[in-house]
Structure 1
């Protein structure tokens, strides 16, 4: 007995002596601490759990083995032996093959099960280099997606198209969905609508640009109609699903801070000549800027060479009747007194110096927490921008709150609300005319010193007369941006709530409702002596919008045996939308600088409209899976739209998609990791906007004291049918070398029928057009996505991706008797020779995006025909100029990691397509662009032929007649001739660069910090393109639409660079 007791005590003592306490930290592949990892002794019930900093302690024996496990990571086991301090890195178990993605109606699915293409981005990817507009974060990252930016800087609209355009007249942009609820991306009304033609377009931004990337957990892009069919008629252009962030477990309340400051410098300016100044025939003298001197009221720069000779100029010294000093441009006070001539020299940087270095600050702080009962996250983001254009700015405040709560094991709720306040004191005017400063610069003589123009009131005429180098046609650029303001303030609220009840293990019911509403007040001020408003003006536009989406869905999910899986759901949705717009104008003011309607000198002009729309829907879906290698999904939906006639307002759509994971059943080489074939087909519909069925009278401006009612010039149609898109998509997903190389190829074809279009009609009918159904568009394309882990070492890794997209939309059919249909235009003036037309030509295999305009008369061989006067002969007959769509788009991203360092580079390549430049047309006509230097002294003999025969029997000889450079460039590049201003729209951009360093956890944990990351960021750093004058990515704006293929005196795009810091506590 003594021996037994002694033996037991000895064994216990040896065990105690062999026990020790180990400690360590668990990280993920990004060197981030992982909380709540289970650390268990294998074969025992003992264990521990890492805290919020990833740290753990555990008492073990040297002979024990321990296992580390956490949701979303591959478990790892180790032998303890003599090791005391541990640093563990867990590898994510969620790969491309089993990734869970958000699909239609907010349903979470394994990407493996899907029979259609979907591409996902994590929130951290779009915050590596933060773009103020969320749409720009997708550029280069998603195959089949084309983004185009506005030219007004931060706060501009950005357009996005998925797989090309499928509608001749409708909205081709995708539907945006936040937490399962559709939200508005519309831009409603513009300064050019109604009231006065003197106002220019102003880009107040698109709806999705209101969102903060810091609040986004993931973005899922549903590219084809098959993927988006469950969203109904609004999703004909695809769907972009945004999932917002939720609270995460932490020790107490978690705090995260993301702070960045970037600086913007203009990246493009027209390439100016600096050899000749303003004037004509080599002569110039300033007197009053109205034509009282020699060429001082003109706009061309074919004046004297800039050789330093003395010439009177607008900033030369003069004096008033009392001998007080003045400038030459102080015309009223000067009263004709002489101006001291000053050296006639170039000012090569006068335009560049006008622009500032812009600054954008984005600050985000978020508080979050979670436990077994629920979670919360409260976030605030502040964006402040001072633009490169003087006095331009943009501010945005985002407050977002997300919460989840489990009332019981079966009943839960999730709520999200975002309040957004955005504003600007000045958004610049766009397009052709004096409200756009680029218009002034392209007519401005190269001798002009703009420093003198900063004091922009004439002496003694403050508030009444601007000071300028040309007061006949142009506004002083500083006067323009500081006095003629376009401001706005927009308050927007988005909210949704999702109530879910688990009826049983397999049945659930979900109720969801969401609202998107905003009020947008825009103000436009015009000072006295403005070119378009000599007595000033004041205008207010009020836009209010609300949209409510509510749906109820019953779902079922089950498995049968070991191989079969089945899910199904039925539901109903109600969508209600209302838009209200009111505009009021004081076209002349009594007192300068007082901007309110009581100060109006003339009768006020008013305009307004209200529009409502409602869609009721029912839908169903089902999915079947067999043995994890065969999957089949079916969906069906029916909409009833109030914008269509009651006889045809009901339209159904469906989708069928299937997937075959052949690598599960076919023995493949070891290097072949995974293979999947997929295919889908669908038929979806699209309705139209309100007020397209019956003609009604609308109020116009009063006729004297009597109200004036007018009928629409377009004959509407009570028998409209919905547009219909039939889609077919096939694809293959392949992974090699233990999933280190991935290939995803998709081929698609969409056929859009019954287009809702407006055809021109005979004026004898009393109408200029008629709304009908007709036309067919067929879109074809291919998308290739490559992902790869090029290098993977303990301290170094290199991952890369590439996206390739190629597609086109062909007009295969138009209504009977119609061969061509004009889908739109980009107008300079109201005449045809000043307009670029977008024409769908079904007879000749035309494509969406084909552009037509005027040019020169030519021989059958394509030689330009000149007149006897030595000038090319313009021809107002429309001809094909090119297509604005690219031949293909490539995005290429690389990520390099070395210990705590990380380098990200994103390239964006667009190849092909044409763009028509009004910068080229105006700057060449005026003589300020570099290419107009040739022939100034010796004249120009144009390359072409002269018809010395008759019109019916032409005989051509080489042109030998010399003309002056001014005559030649005015004729060749005149605004009425678009053919001479066509450029290749190709470009290659370094879209993003980010270099960051994440400090080791062993350092930052001493300060109770979970993560500390600092980096330098840059966007649009370099652009390689054929044209020297402008950024080919930018779009023009006409009304509320962005116009493509036309560059309309765009503002310079910017390159930005700065610093970004991230903290987590």
Structure 2
């Protein structure tokens, strides 16, 4: 009802009309050649001046100027070809504009609010229009860019939550330990965008759980998104632009008759269709290597005492319906086991820890204006549920912007954006109540394959006392269910973004403008733990933060030499920074007296007042910048732009108590870019080459460091809070004796070059855009461990030179273009190669991030000097692919066994022996490099670093990324509307992904589909003799050579003779053929060999069918009678399937735990899910 009342009020606004004001000197009407309708908002300008007018709602314009008679009028409009018409004394000039098939006259939003024609750009950019963004129905606009922009990599963030912020990296990572995300600019305002820093590979952050400010804004307000890729494009942003920029332009008011109303409604639902890594559905509960080799072991305890989480028991098919105790149903209040029932596998049991998603999004916008002023007011509401139980997100957003003329000189603009959002129980990437890793472990590790988790969902607590049942392994299942439903965290966010601008047109060649903006972000969180699990808890916390930006510009534009030479100059001054950020928290102490009563007065113990209740976040910083931009163009064919900006960074200014600080806080960023439209110069036949442009650029841009770094670490002091009277907090500084001071910290400096070409053929039917770039980032600000002799543990230094170079290709084709059918195809491809050119004289490598679930594998992402960026390494104690752990017959280089892995005998997996006293079930381990080095003291090293400690397993960068999309529009006969179809495929080739959970936990428990190999003849199992003397087909013969080089045993009692034999030098197959051993039992093999580092690293290759959309545009003759100008109904399906997936075990490629490209950890946590939506768009 609320939505209906709101819509009714908005439609009443149709009664309000716009006005138009005009005087005539030269006048006319501008229409579209496509439908003959008037075009409103066409820019009509006297060439070489800033004098002009906009067409009104009826397409009419007037220009009143004494010198107009001898001038040329320039008509320009988005999507239409620009026209130039000499006045030649005429007083009426009517124009019909043609579609711009080449889009060469299109204007691109550049840095700091600048706008340039595409033909004038000397660097690569990509713009995605608002209708394409709205079609994806994603909370974060970054997700909408996936696969659409060459050189932009996007990962989901790991938890798969409705609010999770994705990783966005443009042209590779440029920093080893900082945020590599581009900045997000909305109408000139920089947004707060947290992206997890390197090293934090297994910790939740606001980015992976709650997302960032972008989720609080309404995507229906977006007009377009422009991606500025290189330093030449972003240098005017100064220190903020080193990682690129994503510039969002929102919709504004339009000149029109009356007030326009736009209504958008979308309903989306998501369907979870597969576990994060495919599970097997054939074998039931049973411990590995215990003799389950074809049937149930008689006398085995299948009641509560016999429970195991492993799934290496008999196959369900072999039971032939034999009833057994349902051992997973033993947490009944009376403690009595359930009666005998047939055993079944529960393929979708894991879904008890997930739910299908749904959300609704509605927005209403009012638009209007005249030549004097325009405005747009919108309201949006979204409400949805995520894929974890009890997870939801809702948002209210209001956006208002207006532009108006004060008089002939001054004009002003104002924008206000307010949002209020609530997030309940966000998805996290690790354990905890809503941890997706927890859900995965419970669904695929703690519970075997015939455990009915849905049954537990309905019986996890006593219905009266709400106490959790269970004391054994499955108590973990119950505890997680208890957390999901009885432990709740709610977070409210309020965002207020305001911007006020004033512009002045002093003459036809000189103008100026000033803009001020402020971004305020307030957070309040409330946690309620009912107390049925542990002690219970009630807590609140919150924070307030803000950022500001002020820019003043003076702009001049002139033409000389018969209007052939254009000179455009901009001078800018800017000041921006973050304001004081405060935070607070309060929590009960020791639990709740009465479970379920959430009040601080219900705290078991007294609540401590003081440092635990309020806090202060050290994030104040300020940057002051001055910049200048000179643009030259010759005959609108050759363009040259030169920019220079100097920033003064407070983060590199040493405190007054550190007089030795060098204060390297002044940074200068120059850039130059040029383009040449040679097709115009040589007047090439457009049927052959419609448009041809060459471009080149060079630029430098810098980056500071975190606030207070020059004190904390750089200066050897620690800045912290102390509490004064009335619980106020005050910044204090104290000596930090564990850090070696650095009084000469310098800013990071990035130097970039770029060359490219934009070519269009066959009257614009075929186009290709190619770019090559190389970027070097020097003076990385790193914290390193100091040598023991120095007496300190760490030091902050400038180090390194990271180089990124690569190619980007964008292809566009229009195979069919008729009045009835228009078919377009677009493809993009990108390849980036990062390299650590140098680090520091004191170090050869730098650990970027480390896998730290339980410290079992020593996996980390490392930077080696002279090596590729982001090398995946493993401690040699956990790796068997180190060159020293590979068999190599030094006496025979042609030995066919050279290059094989090496094995040794780990011992008996059980106590069973055959008639000659030989073990029936042996376990084996691969020989690791660590065991060899420990035995021989090897001095091998890799890339000059990490001596005797690591093995190189791969690197995180993909070989290339790509995206392909196609669209078809069909106009139906008899003006019956039109259909349109859109489809997109995207993917990547290569790049290492670390998958520790699957290899360490799920595979050794027999739960994955991958562990079916070798369990029976149907799945490739070879013959072996079991403990009963029966021949069974559940053996595996590893492709490896026995070796005692690392000190492991290779001696065994022969399976046929009972004599001791040494298998050293024999392959496993040769030892089996000789009768000394038999094939290893499949379950024993998986259990003992699951944690090898190499099994935890896979290729990240995939190809995804990302999106399909089918839409129908209603004809005007059907809708005009109800006051509609346009109506569109569409259906969209996203994330439909993976056409190619080379992740180990078929795991979900979108399951990265971190939203940082430097930490490619896949904890197999995000289930496979498809999203479907219906959308309705109405314009009155």
Query: Aligning the two structures, in what range does the TM-score lie when normalised by the shorter sequence?
Result: 0.7 to 0.9
Report the counterpart of residue 923 of structure 1 in structure 2: 1002
The match for 1:676 is: 693
Whether the 8 Å CA contact 1:255–1:367 is kept in 2: the answer is yes
What is the CA–CA distance in structure 2 between the aligned matches of 1:177 and 1:219, rounded to whole Å? 10
Does residue 1:859 correspond to 2:887, yes or no?
yes
List aligned pairs for 1:264-413, cutoff 5 A. Answer: 264-269=270-275, 270-280=277-287, 281=290, 293-296=304-307, 298-306=308-316, 307=319, 308-313=321-326, 316=329, 328-330=330-332, 333-334=333-334, 337-352=336-351, 355-413=354-412
- 2:951 maps to 879
Distance 1:342-1:202 versus aligned 2 partners, 3 A rule: farther
Q: 1:871 to 1:581 in 2, by over 3 A?
A: farther
- Residue 759 of structure 2 corresponds to which residue in structure 1? 734
Q: Which residue of 2 aligns with 1:470?
A: 473
Give 1:738-777 correspondences, 5 Å limit.
Answer: 738-763=763-788, 765-777=790-802
Q: Distance in 2 between matches of 1:541 and 1:881?
A: 43
Q: Does 1:818 align with 2:843?
A: yes
Whether contact under 8 Å (1:463, 1:527) holds in the other structure is: no
CA distance in 2, matches of 1:791, 1:637: 47
Change (3 A) 1:37 1:722: closer
Query: Is the CA contact 1:698–1:710 (under 8 Å) kept in the aligned structure 2?
Result: no
Q: Is the 8 A contact 1:692 1:716 kept in 2?
A: no
SS at match of 1:957: coil
User: Does structure 1 residue 846 correspond to structure 2 residue 868?
Assistant: yes
Cα distance between partner residues in 2 of 1:445 and 1:665: 72
Shift of 1:405: 1.1
Which residue matches 1:512? Answer: 515
How many residue pairs get matched? 973
* Contact 1:291–1:472 (8 Å) recurs in 2: no
Q: Sort the Cα spacing of 1:547 and 1:387 in 2 relative to 1 into closer, same or farther, 3 A.
A: same
Q: 1:469 & 1:363 partners in 2: Cα distance?
A: 48
Q: Contact 2:870–2:1158 at 8 Å: present in 1 too?
A: no
Report how far residue 859 of structure 1 moved: 2.9
Residue aligning to 2:165: 157
Aligned counterpart for 1:956 among listed residues 1061, 1065, 1085: 1065
Structure-2 residue corresponding to 1:61: none
Looking at structure 2, the residues matched to 850 and 756 of structure 1 have their Cα atoms a distance apart, in angstroms, of 22
Deviations 1:975-1009 (A, max 9, x none): xx331132221111222211111111122112211
Q: After superposing the two structures, state which structure 1 stretch, 456-465 or 559-568, moved more.
A: 456-465
Q: In 1, are the aligned partners of 2:460 and 2:478 still within 8 Å (CA)?
A: no
The whole-number CA distance in structure 2 between the counterparts of 1:852 and 1:811 is 19
Residue-by-residue CA offset, 1:700-747 (whole Å, 9 max, x unaligned) = 999xxxx99995855453321100101111111111112222211110
> In the aligned structure 2, how far is the partner of 1:697 from the partner of 1:211?
37
1:236: which partner in 2? 242
**How big is the shift at 1:166?**
0.9
**After superposition, where does 1:603-642 map in structure 2 within 5 Å?**
608-611=615-618, 612-642=620-650
- The separation in 2 between residues aligned to 1:752 and 1:878, in whole angstroms, is 26
Distance 1:944 1:337 in 2: 49
Q: Note the C-alpha offset of 1:559.
A: 0.8
> Is 2:134 aligned against 1:134?
no
Q: Contact 1:233–1:685 (CA<8 Å) still a contact in 2?
A: yes
Distance 1:948 1:809 in 2: 40
Between the aligned partners of 2:197 and 2:379, the Cα distance in structure 1 is 29
Shift in Å, 1:50: 11
- Residue pair 1:692, 1:717 contacting (<8 A) in 2 also: no
Cα displacement (A) at 1:794 = 1.3
2:117 counterpart residue number: 110
Q: CA deviation at 1:261?
A: 0.9
**Is the 1:201–1:429 contact (alpha carbons within 8 Å) kept by the matching residues of 2?**
no
Query: Quick one: which of 434, 448, 451 aligns to 2:454?
Result: 451
Distance 1:484 1:701 in 2: 33
Among 828, 836, 860, the alignment partner of 1:837 is 860
Please say if residues 576 and 614 of structure 1, whose CA atoms lie closer than 8 Å, have aligned partners that are also in contact. Answer: yes
- How far did residue 204 of structure 1 move? 0.8
Instruction: Name 1:1031's counterpart in structure 2.
Output: 1148
- Deviation of 1:630 after TM superposition, in Å, equals 1.7
**1:169–1:757 Cα contact (<8 Å) kept:** yes
The equivalent of 1:495 in structure 2 is 498
Q: Following the alignment from structure 1 to structure 2, what is the Cα–Cα distance between the partners of residues 53 and 448?
A: 70
Asked whether the equivalents of residues 304 and 327 of structure 2 are also in contact (C-alpha less than 8 Å), the reply is no
Query: How large is the Cα RMSD of the aligned pairs?
Result: 3.6
Q: SS at 1:271's partner residue?
A: coil
Aligned twin of 1:567: 568
Q: Find the partner of 2:219 among 198, 213, 218.
A: 213
8 Å Cα contact 2:364-2:378 kept in structure 1:
yes
Are the aligned partners of 1:463 and 1:593 in contact in 2 as well (CA < 8 Å)? no
CA distance in structure 2 between the aligned counterparts of 1:746 and 1:351, rounded to whole angstroms: 46
Q: Following the alignment from structure 1 to structure 2, what is the Cα–Cα distance between the partners of residues 484 and 211?
A: 28
**Which one is further off, 711-720 or 676-685?**
711-720
| Residues 911 and 934 (structure 1), Cα distance of their counterparts in 2 relative to 1, 3 Å cut | closer
Partner in structure 1 of residue 809 of structure 2 = 784
Q: CA deviation at 1:862?
A: 4.0
Q: Which structure 1 segments of 5+ residues have no match?
A: 1-23, 39-48, 56-68, 77-87, 317-327
**TM-score normalised to structure 1 length:** 0.85
Q: What displacement does 1:600 show? A: 4.0
Q: For residue 550 of structure 1, what is the aligned residue in structure 2?
A: 550
Find out whether 1:1006 has 2:1121 as its counterpart. Answer: yes
State the shift of 1:53 in Å.
9.7
More deviation in 608-617 or 165-174?
608-617
Secondary structure of 1:141's counterpart equals: coil
TM-score normalized by the length of structure 2: 0.77
Alignment partners' CA distance in 2, 1:653 and 1:770: 28
* 1:632-677 deviation digits (Å, cap 9, x = unpaired): 1111111111111352111111101111222222253451122111
Q: Which residue of 1 aligns with 2:1130?
A: 1015
Question: Structure 1 residue 806: deviation in Å?
Answer: 0.8
Structure 2 Cα separation of the partners of residues 894 and 139 of structure 1: 15
Distance 2:214 2:1110 in 1: 28
Deviation at 1:431, TM superposition (A): 2.4
Go from structure 1 to structure 2 and tell me whether the alpha carbon gap of 1:1007 and 1:621 turns closer, same or farther (over 3 Å shift). same
CA separation of 1:304 and 1:673: change in aligned 2, threshold 3 A: closer
Q: Structure 1's 667 and 428: CA in aligned 2 closer, same or farther, altered over 3 A?
A: closer
Counterpart residue number, 1:1058: 1173
Between the aligned partners of 1:235 and 1:555, the Cα distance in structure 2 is: 22
Question: 1:49-71, CA deviations, whole angstroms, 9 ceiling, x for partnerless residues?
Answer: 9996999xxxxxxxxxxxxx995
1:383 and 1:467 mapped to 2: Cα distance?
A: 40
Deviates more, 1:241-250 or 1:422-431: 422-431
Q: Work out which of the residue numbers 169, 191, 199 in structure 2 matches 1:183.
A: 191
- Cα 1:509–1:291, aligned 2, differ >3 Å: closer, same or farther? farther
1:774 is displaced (CA, Å) by: 0.5
1:302 positional shift: 2.6
Counterpart position of 2:98? 91
Q: 1:893 — aligned with what?
A: 965
**1:826–1:524: structure 2 CA closer, same or farther, 3 Å change rule?**
farther
Q: 1:600 to 1:894 in 2, by over 3 A?
A: same
User: For 1:245, which of 251, 256, 259 is the aligned residue?
Assistant: 251
Structure 1 595/310 Cα, relative in aligned 2: closer, same or farther at 3 Å?
Answer: farther
Task: Kindly state the Cα deviation for residue 229 of structure 1 after the two structures are TM-superposed.
Answer: 0.4
Q: CA deviation at 1:74?
A: 5.7
Q: Tell me what 1:687 maps to.
A: 704
Inter-partner Cα distance in structure 2 for 1:272 and 1:228: 47
